[in-house]
Structures are given as C-alpha cells and as structure tokens.
Amino acid sequence: MEGTPTAGRRSGVARPVARPPGPRGSLLYAGIVARRDPTAYFEGIVRDHPRLAHLRLGREHVYVLGHPELVQELFVARGRALRKGRALERIRMLLGDGLLTSEGERHRTQRRLIQPALHGDRIAAYADDMVATARAYDTRWRDGEVLDLAREMSGLTLTVVGRALFGSDLREETARVAEALAALLGGFQRHLLPGADLLLRIPTPGRARMFAAIDRLDRLVRELIERRRAAPPGPDLLSTLLAHLDDDTQVRDEVMTLLLAGHETTATALTWTWWLLSEHPEVARWLHEELDTRLDGVPSYADLDRLPRTRAVFAEAMRLYPPSWILGRRTLTEVELDGWTLPAGSLCVASQWVLHRDGRFWAAPLEFAPRRWIGPDGRYDEAVPGQPRGAYLPFGLGARICVGLAFAWMEGVLVLATLARHWDPELAPGQKVEPLPAVTLRQKYGMRMRLRARR
Ligand code: HEM
C-alpha cells in the first residue's frame, strides 16, 4: 500500500505498512533495466522520487534515498539501527568476517586494532613507499607505448598495499590478482539480484569461475601470511594482526579485506582520473602547471599541502566516477525517515553516482571541473563547491566510513603527482569507455592508453 506519511502507524492495530511511492512497472522489467544499466536505473528513480522511493526486489522492500539530508539522517544519526546491506552480505563469501563485512562488537574491536595503522603520523611513513612504487612505473613506461592503465594502476596500488601494510613485495602477483578480480567482480552483479541464492547452487561455468577465483586469492593471502610469519615482526599492519589475533581465519579475513578494499578502489579512481585528464587537455595543463612549479624533484609527504590542484583533480574524478557507487544498509529495527516508518529488515540504498551528479546540489554537475574545489585562497577545500553534507561521499559516512580514507587520499595525490609530472596519456584508438557498476565502478573494456612523455 502506498500512502501518506505516518498512515498505518497506529500501534497495536494490524494495518498494512504505508510506504512512499516508487517506480511502477513489472518486477521483471525493473530487473532487466537494473541489470543492464544500474546507475541509470537509480538515477531514474531519484529523478521521479527526489527524496525517498520504495520498491520491491523479490521479497525485499527497498528504500532509495535521493536526498543528502536523509542520507545523513539514516547513516549517521540512525547508524546504530543498521547493518550492512545485501551486496556486503554476499561479498562475505570472499572476505569472510573482515572489517568491511563484520558487525557489532566484533567490528568495533577490529576497527580499534586496524585504524591506528591507517591514521595520523603512521601514514606519513607510507608516503615514500607510494612514491617509490610510482617511480618504478615512471621509469618502466616508454613514450608511445600503449598500455591498459586499469591494469597498470591495479598493479601499482596492489604493490603499495603489499609494501605498506604487509611488508611484502607483491609485484610478481599483480597479474594473478588482476585476473582473479576480473573473474570475480565482473560476474558479481548477478549475485546481488533476486534468485541469486539459487543461482549459486547451480553448477554453472560462471559459478565455477567465481569459486576458482576465490580459491586463487585465498592461496595468495595464506602465502602472504606464512611469508610474513617466517620473518621477524616489523612495524607493518600484518605484524600487528599476527600479534593480536590468535585465530588464523580472522587474520586471513582481515588480510583479504585490506588487500582488496585497499587497492581496487584506489586503482579504479586513478584510472578514471587518467581518462578524464586525457578528455580535458585544459585541465591537464592546469594540473601540469602546478606540478612543474610546485615540485622540486620527486614528490614527498611534505609536498601534499602544496598540491591543491592535484588533490582537486582526484576529488573531481571521484565525484563523477565514484569507485564505490552505491551504499546499502539493512535496518535492524523500525526506523522513522522523512515521516515514513521503515520496518525492521528493510534494505536502504543511497547511490554516490546519483548524489554526486545531482543538479540540485552541484553547479554544472556533469562537467569535469576540478577548479570547483579550490577556494579564493588557492587551497583545496571540500566545502567550496557548496554542496550539502551527504552529497559527496566517495568514502561513505558515519561509523562505517572508509578506514583507509587518509591512506587513499595520500596515495591518489602522490601517485598522480609522480606520474603526471612526466606523462600525459591519451586514449588508444578504438578504446571504448564505459563504466561497469559491479562492486566497484570499474572500466568495462579496460582503459588502453598511449603514453606520451611530457619531457
Ligand atoms: C579511492 C579509494 C577508496 C575508496 C573510494 C573507498 C571507499 C570506501 C567506502 C565507500 C567504504 C564504506 C562502505 C560502506 O559503508 O558500506 C569503505 C570502507 C572500507 N575501506 Fe575504503 N575506499 C578506498 C580506499 C581504501 C584503502 C586504501 C583501504 C585500506 C588501506 C580501504 C579499506 C577499507 C575498509 C577496511 C573498509 C571497511 C571499514 C569499516 O566498515 O569499518 N579503503 N571504503
């Protein structure tokens, strides 16, 4: 039943729950559209229902939050009444009970253990690793060479995480991880839709590929742990995990989580950044001007504040192509939102893709305009574009905000600064560009680009 807010709320009277209106049409039709173009599907829902929409997904009741006020209200003020949504329930197959997927007290304990390694002074120590890794690509790249920058960035960020967090050299493993992830994430979308439980029990080739990919990653993670255990403990996060967790499965789950969450998203963001720069030569020139005048040799931690344009370019790329494009939660209790009562067990989603491109909150929303992040004093400032709180969420919000946020910002800026100083890649002829909204917003056809040396 659709109705007005608060209808059906009289306690003790068994009346159907009143729900906000939502998209019409058959579930089958919605399923097909959502599968083919999920970002457009959610954009359409928010266009027609700008604050809150309700729809059915199989037996699930789904609420789509289209307004930042409601996103803040639910994810921050009512955070305690939520657990992770459907996608993360599924991704447990791969990540087990690591920081991204765990709940309640276990999550709080794990967060307390892991967060210090990714915050404050500790991350300054990773800057040199990040720059050294980017420099290795800088010296290997050849003028005129065509490379898939999605692969390059994925190899680069995996190597950074390996060195910084696990004290391990993963350069040899990058191809193995990239293949397993492509097999896994590409097909993952199918497992989020109604009927997925059944699909997983049917022995299809897709299912076999998925489990083989999980197996490959599992072996890599166990090798990584064994290698680290065999060497003397160091200041890295893996040594901390080994010292504090007695359960091998728990160490495995945390390492798998940090390895995947810690590289795939940053790689995706950097890849979109390269493409956006190639499409907007005037922005590339604006960026190069900063790198040519502000950097004295190889970038370092001390340079971070001197590179507002580099940061703005990375921020703007994550606005238009947010690596995490949708956030989902399930309500644990009944929740009041915008005058409606959401029953316990409802699914709530908010899409960064939609919020980041909404003309109600952004001027020239579809334009790649990094200057919007620079204040009159020439500094980068997340408040300058004037968007309301909750309209820019590349790293999520509330208690489950990305634990690697500071690490990712630093990595994005330092890698971009190191490489864009010398390189200005252009799209390879015939390369199609389309987002693939799987768990992260990947590049559907990769991103083959021709490297152009700047000097
Ligand atoms: C551009 C890069 C990145 C983006 C866009 C990103 C985005 C996000 C988002 C949106 C969430 C929240 C998910 C939710 O609420 O359901 C999240 C959580 C998380 N991220 Fe990131 N992330 C990035 C980089 C990193 C890095 C570098 C690390 C590790 C070094 C990392 C580790 C994690 C972990 C462990 C969580 C779960 C935190 C918790 O639930 O307590 N991420 N990330």
Looking at residue 253, its pLDDT comes to 94
For 364: left if phi > 0, alpha if psi spans -120 to 50, otherwise beta; the answer is left
Residue 122 within a domain: yes
Q: How far apart are alpha carbons 390 and 410 in whole angstroms?
A: 22
With beta carbons less than 8 A apart as the criterion, state whether 419 and 350 touch: no
Q: Is 306 exposed, middle or buried (0-12, 13-18, 19+ CB in 10 A)?
A: middle
- The number of beta carbons lying within 10 Å of the beta carbon of residue 126 is 23
Looking at residue 266, its pLDDT comes to 97
With beta carbons less than 8 A apart as the criterion, state whether 283 and 368 touch: yes
Closest Cα to atom 7 of ligand 1: 395
Q: How far apart are alpha carbons 2 and 52 in whole angstroms?
A: 12
Residue 219 within a domain: yes
Residues 6+ apart with CB under 8 A from 454: 288, 421, 422, 423, 424
Residues 6+ apart with CB under 8 A from 70: 51, 52, 337, 338, 350
Q: How far apart are alpha carbons 329 and 348 in whole angstroms?
A: 5
CA of 109 to the centre of ligand 1 (A): 17
CATH of the domain at 59: 1.10.630.10
Q: Looking at the CA of residue 165, tell me the nearest atom of ligand 1.
A: 30
According to DSSP, the residues that pair with 61 across neighbouring strands are 56
402, 411, 415, 440, best to mutate for ligand 1 pocket (most atoms within 8 Å of CB): 402
CA of 292 to the centre of ligand 1 (A): 32
Closest Cα to atom 37 of ligand 1: 100
CA of 258 to the centre of ligand 1 (A): 9
Residue 129 within a domain: yes
Sign of CA dihedral 189, 182, 366, 68: positive
CA of 405 to the centre of ligand 1 (A): 7
CA of 311 to the centre of ligand 1 (A): 18
For 38: left if phi > 0, alpha if psi spans -120 to 50, otherwise beta; the answer is alpha
Per DSSP, the chain holds a count of helices (H) and strands (E) of 18, 12
Residue 19 within a domain: no
Tokens of 387: 């968007």
Number of domains within the chain: 1
Cα(first)–Cα(last) distance of the chain, in Å?
65
Residue 311 within a domain: yes
Q: How far apart are alpha carbons 38 and 434 in whole angstroms?
A: 13
Q: How far apart are alpha carbons 369 and 361 in whole angstroms?
A: 15
Domain range spanning residue 292?
A: 27-450
Q: How far apart are alpha carbons 233 and 220 in whole angstroms?
A: 20
Tokens of 429: 């002829």
- In eight-state DSSP terms, residue 172 is G
Q: Looking at the CA of residue 100, tell me the nearest atom of ligand 1.
A: 37
- How big is the CA angle at 280 (ends 396 and 46), to the nearest 5 degrees? 40
Residue 8 within a domain: no
Nearest to 79 by CA among 358, 330, 267, 266: 330
Q: How far apart are alpha carbons 122 and 116 in whole angstroms?
A: 7
Q: Looking at the CA of residue 398, tell me the nearest atom of ligand 1.
A: 15
- The number of beta carbons lying within 10 Å of the beta carbon of residue 452 is 14
Length of the chain: 455
Residue 419 within a domain: yes
The arrangement of strands across the sheet holding 347-350 comes to: 52-57, 60-65, 347-350, 327-331, 82-84
Mean pLDDT by 10 residues, the chain (455 residues): 50 71 73 77 94 88 96 96 78 87 92 91 91 97 98 95 88 83 67 52 71 87 90 88 90 93 94 98 98 95 96 98 95 96 95 98 98 97 97 97 96 98 98 92 96 92
CA of 260 to the centre of ligand 1 (A): 10
CA of 147 to the centre of ligand 1 (A): 27
Residue 22 within a domain: no
Q: Which residues line ligand 1 (CB under 6 A)?
A: 99-100, 111, 118, 257-258, 261-262, 265-266, 269, 323-324, 327, 394-396, 400, 402-404, 407-408
Looking at residue 10, its pLDDT comes to 47
With beta carbons less than 8 A apart as the criterion, state whether 392 and 362 touch: no
- How big is the CA angle at 343 (ends 341 and 346), to the nearest 5 degrees? 115
Report DSSP letters for 70-114, one per residue.
HHHIIIIITGGGEEE-HHHHHHHHHHTTSTTT--HHHHHHHHHHH
DSSP E strand stretches across 274-399: 327-331, 335-337, 340-342, 347-350
With residues binned 3-state (H G I as helix, E B as strand, rest as coil), the percentages for the chain, rounded to 5, are 55, 10, 35
